[in-house]
Amino acid sequence: MSSNGSRRREITVADVAKAAQVSKAQAARALGNYGAVSEEVRGRVLAAAEELSYRPNELARSMNTGKSNTIGVVVGDIENPHFGLATRGITDTAKKSGYNVILINTDEELAAEVEAVQVLLDKRVDGLIVAPASSVETKHLQHVHESGRPLVLLDRKAEGLDVETIAVSMIDISYESTRYLLEAGHRQVAFVSTLKTDSAYRAGMVLDSTQISERLEGMQRAFSEIGLTLSEDHVRLNAGDADSIRNITRGLLLMPEPVTAIVASDGLIALSVVEAIQELGLAIPDDVSFLMYDDFSWTRLTSPPLTVIAQPVYEMGVAAASALIRQIEGRKPVANGPEFSARLIRRGSVAMPRTARV
Amino acid sequence: MSSNGSRRREITVADVAKAAQVSKAQAARALGNYGAVSEEVRGRVLAAAEELSYRPNELARSMNTGKSNTIGVVVGDIENPHFGLATRGITDTAKKSGYNVILINTDEELAAEVEAVQVLLDKRVDGLIVAPASSVETKHLQHVHESGRPLVLLDRKAEGLDVETIAVSMIDISYESTRYLLEAGHRQVAFVSTLKTDSAYRAGMVLDSTQISERLEGMQRAFSEIGLTLSEDHVRLNAGDADSIRNITRGLLLMPEPVTAIVASDGLIALSVVEAIQELGLAIPDDVSFLMYDDFSWTRLTSPPLTVIAQPVYEMGVAAASALIRQIEGRKPVANGPEFSARLIRRGSVAMPRTARV
DNA sequence: ACCCCTTGTGAGTCCGGTCTCAATCCTAAT
DNA sequence: ATTAGGATTGAGACCGGACTCACAAGGGGT
């Protein structure tokens, strides 16, 4: 009873070598497929390995090759389909090139992100993909970069960090979609985002996220172009859980001069905003127009289907992984990396505001 | 220029030891917090480590402790919010106990799963959480289990594999929800699932997924209770991409005696089914009733909001991780692990079928 | 027949930690 | 003063592969 007494200790090259009656070095060569090995020996070793069902210890291997074939991914929240999709793009691509992915969630907390990066570095990952929680507080990323470890940022740029970044430029699309709202007659337009800040939004304040800065910049540009300004009071940050989003939405719609259009910064926010609107007994787009970032399938199922700003999230994940792997393998960056841009998909959630109608 | 000339080679215990003028062994003890170390030495070592910003190499550490503080997670598709949420539960819990997570996607391909498991084993993860693609083909899992590596299954049981499994029992809830449909007057009920099979569904055929088997069993029980049987032709498996789901849905609704209710096996399928229904110009629930597994937020936003079978996905992720970590740390299983059950949330997508109305 | 070069091979070192073991200190007890 | 016994400490083995080095054999060229 025990053809393979493989209890506890694992099979190592030494075991295989013994079984094949060759030196450890030869066995290692045959198995690792390097150096010179006679057919004869190779055969014996491979057979022995098969027989013992030998499996190399990747840890040991990594230790002296210095390569772990693993990349670390740090995102704010995988539960958010935006990151889910991006992660999918990353893992698909990584797998194709023989890399594994260690995933760490940060809940968009800077402290968690700093720790996550540290942990991954300690595990000697070959490179990192980070969707930074903050575009301003980037010491830890700076550190990674300086230590020479390949690093690619996803979704958001980091202030003063010259690192390859895969992100959609938000200014133009934000400008375009704001114009779309303005042309429909909206003047009271709100923007709701989860971005955490110490104080309420004030024009010109420095934000932690370049994404959000850019979006606001685009909105402002559209407004100022027609001689108006985006009201500070209509920019609501710190929209955390469903409850706070609900309150924010109610606030925006119940104020003396209610907003006539709301722009949701991501899919999660959108859900709560739309729900709050429905709760108030208001109709989209008759009472309020609605626009959101991220094109999820369900946005086509609501009535009316929602007008969205679609970002090539999966493709960006792919691009981030490709770029990182390229860096890891020391290849030169391609001349013109793909440029990603978002596009406005007009469905049914934007219409003329009540006030503008005859 | 170069306060810390930390280029290339990383700082090791040996470096710290030298800087602190003690032996490597002592430095290691002080750093690793084991063995006896005088306050004096500890101080010097810690200071030196700080100064050099030493970071232990987890790989090396893992290699001779045999622990990697990493757990491997194998899921069919993170992009599916079902797994997204579960993964979130897993990572949250793992992090709390100091474990990291390596995530691998299998696209529900058995071959990919086998490889994924192998890769994780090679990386010497401390344990595995797998949502098995097949409940029947389980040699690779058997192998893991026999090798003594902690293993927890998620969502689906594996035939003849005595391994801790965190899953919702589907029979009762399926029975309950089918009764709900039958009581509303439906007789032509369809079930649509992605489950891959070699041939079309036939009653009694062995399915790869215990989840699906159980659901069908529950449906059949409800049918036979009132002297009817669930038509084989109404059980549609192999619903892969959006297109095939669309075709299946059209098929079900355009056949001579169309189904009056459709049950979607998961959120992704639901999306396409609902879309196909809308495309056909049919209304839910007036023309077709609709029921789906998984309670995603967006199901409350459609009109009507969808009736769903909610599973405590996040909690199951938490439970799976807890169970695995318990196993890894060699603690006894708690007497009565939490039992998970799904519940039917009646919203607005189920009504009397046309045929049953006056 | 002699030298050079290309394989093939085994011994042993190294990666960066952990851990065993024997030697050295120190302090309190005899 | 002497000594037992615990606290410290350094040397070195070890984890499981990769890789360097020195050396033996076989082949070709002249």
Tens digit of pLDDT for each residue in B229-273?
999 999 999 998 899 999 999 999 999 999 999 999 999 899 999
> Burial level of A282, CB count in 10 A (0-12/13-18/19+)?
middle
User: Which residue is the nearest neighbor of D15, CA to C1'?
Assistant: B64
Overall average pLDDT of the A126-137 stretch: 94
- B81 prior amide bond cis, ω within 30: no
Tell which residue, B314, B2, B298, has the closest CA to residue A270: B298
Average pLDDT, chain B: 91
pLDDT tier, B35 (very low <50, low <70, confident <90, very high otherwise): confident
| Cα–Cα distance measured from residue B77 to residue B194, given in angstroms and rounded to the nearest whole number | 12
Rounded Cα–Cα distance for residues A245 and B29 (Å): 51
Measured between alpha carbons, how far apart are the two ends of chain A, in Å? 90
Just give the CATH number of B68-168+313-328: 3.40.50.2300
What's the pLDDT at B81?
Answer: 87
Residue B2 has pLDDT above 50, yes or no: no
Distance between CA atoms of residues A340 and A89, nearest Å: 14
pLDDT digits (tens, 9 = 90+) for A286-329: 999 999 999 998 999 998 999 999 999 999 999 999 999 999 99
Nearest CB among B118, B275, B301 relative to A271 is that of: B301
Nucleotide of closest approach to B25 (CA, C1'): D10
Distance from CA of B116 to the nearest CA of A (A): 9
Which of A123, A147, A271, A296 to substitute to test the interface with B, most B CBs within 10 Å? A123
The SS3 assignment for B191 reads: strand
Q: What is the pLDDT confidence band of residue A335, given thresholds at 50, 70 and 90?
A: low
Whether A62 sits inside 8 A of B60 (CB atoms) is no
Closest CA to B349 of A301, A269, A81, A271: A301
The CATH homologous superfamily for domain A69-168+313-328 is Response regulator (3.40.50.2300)
Domains of chain A, residue spans = 13-56, 69-168+313-328, 170-311+343-356
Nucleotide nearest to B17 (CA to C1'): D10
Instruction: Please check the confidence at residue A31 and state whether its pLDDT lies above 60.
Output: yes
Residues 6+ apart with CB under 8 A from A54: A11, A12, A13, A15, A16, A31, A48
Query: Mean pLDDT across the stretch B180-205?
Result: 93
Distance from CA of B228 to the nearest CA of A (A): 34
Task: Give ∠ CA A303-A350-A193 in degrees, rounded to 5.
Answer: 95
Q: Which residue has the higher pLDDT, A9 or A107?
A: A107
Average of pLDDT values for B308-332?
94
Residues of A in contact with B68 (CB under 8 A): 59
pLDDT at A33: 85
Checking if the pLDDT of B1 tops 90, the result is no
Q: Do A63 and B68 touch (CB under 8 A)?
A: no
Which residues fall within 8 angstroms of residue A202, CB to CB, at 6 or more apart? A232
Q: Which residue has the tokens 């807890």?
A: B322
Q: Report pTM.
A: 0.90
Alpha carbons B216 and B204: distance in angstroms, whole number:
10
User: What's the CA gap between B77 and A37, in Å, rounded?
Assistant: 42
Q: Judge whether residue B339 has pLDDT over 90.
A: no
pLDDT tens-digit readout, B9-21: 789 999 999 999 9
Query: How does A171-184 read in b/e, with b if 16+ C-beta sit within 10 Å?
Result: bebbbebbbbbbeb
Average pLDDT estimate for B180-188: 96
* Beta carbons of B124 and A58 less than 8 Å apart: yes
pLDDT of residue A160: 87
Beta carbons of A192 and A269 less than 8 angstroms apart:
yes
Distance (Å, whole) CA B268 – CA B271: 5
User: How many whole angstroms separate alpha carbon B214 and alpha carbon B151?
Assistant: 23
Our CA-based measurement puts residue A203 at a distance from the nearest CA of chain B, in whole angstroms, of 33
CB-CB neighbors (< 8 A) of A77 in chain B = 88
Nucleotide nearest to B40 (CA to C1'): D8
Q: Do domains B68-168+313-328 and B170-311+343-356 have the same CATH topology?
A: yes
- The integer distance in angstroms from the CA atom of B48 to the C1' atom of D4 is 36
Q: How does pLDDT run across A55-83, given as a tens digit for each residue?
A: 999 999 999 899 999 999 999 988 888 99
Q: A-B interface: how many C-beta pairs under 8 angstroms? A: 132
Minimal Cα distance from B54: which residue of A?
A122
Phi, psi of B221 (to 5 degrees): -60, -45
Residue A4 has pLDDT above 60, yes or no: no
CATH topology of domain A170-311+343-356: Rossmann fold (3.40.50)
CA distance B133 to B81: 17
Q: Are B291 and B274 in contact (CB under 8 A)?
A: no
Question: Do B79 and A84 lie within an 8 Å CB cutoff?
Answer: yes
